[in-house]
Amino acid sequence: MERTVTVLVYSDDVNTREQVRMAAGRRPAADLPPIEYLECATLPAVLTALEQGGVDACVLDGEAVPAGGMGVCRQIKDEIFDCPPVLVLIGRPQDAWLASWSRAEAAVPHPVDPTELTNALTALLRSVMAAPA
């Protein structure tokens, strides 16, 4: 059976989660294994999923309510041992500094641009695949 990678997608908005899934697709690059998506709508669900392990990368909605993705990113970077890399969706280009503050490895603007999101997520997943086990 072929290995897959798991991408956690956090947003309180089901449409945003769907946009991320549709933009990146099941296999965003030929050199990567297929993606399995784990959708979370709340901070407790994100924390539970990360504590259980098996998540290779996260996409967090910076505009999620009540817990925004950038605050969630900073929290998980502090609290989750060996936290997976994070891509945050930012509401406006001026929020790039907040993404940096949150310690996210990548940030792309929302609404989702499929090419930009796919390129950023592909880069994160390649870094995960290249890391020693």
| Sign (positive or negative) of CA dihedral 45, 47, 50, 51 | negative
- pTM for the model stands at 0.95
For the chain, domains (ranges, CATH) are 18-130 (3.40.50.2300)
For 36, phi then psi, to 5°, come to -110, 130
Cis peptide before 111 (omega within 30 of 0): yes
3-state DSSP helix/strand/coil percent for the chain, to nearest 5?
45, 20, 35
Cα distances from 29 to residues 32, 52, 57, 66, 115, in angstroms, run 5, 27, 15, 33, 12
Per-residue pLDDT in tens (0 to 9) along the chain, 133 residues: 578 999 999 999 999 999 999 999 999 999 999 999 999 999 999 999 999 999 999 999 999 999 999 999 999 999 999 999 999 999 888 888 889 999 999 999 999 999 999 999 999 999 999 887 6
Compute φ and ψ for 5, nearest 5 degrees: -115, 145
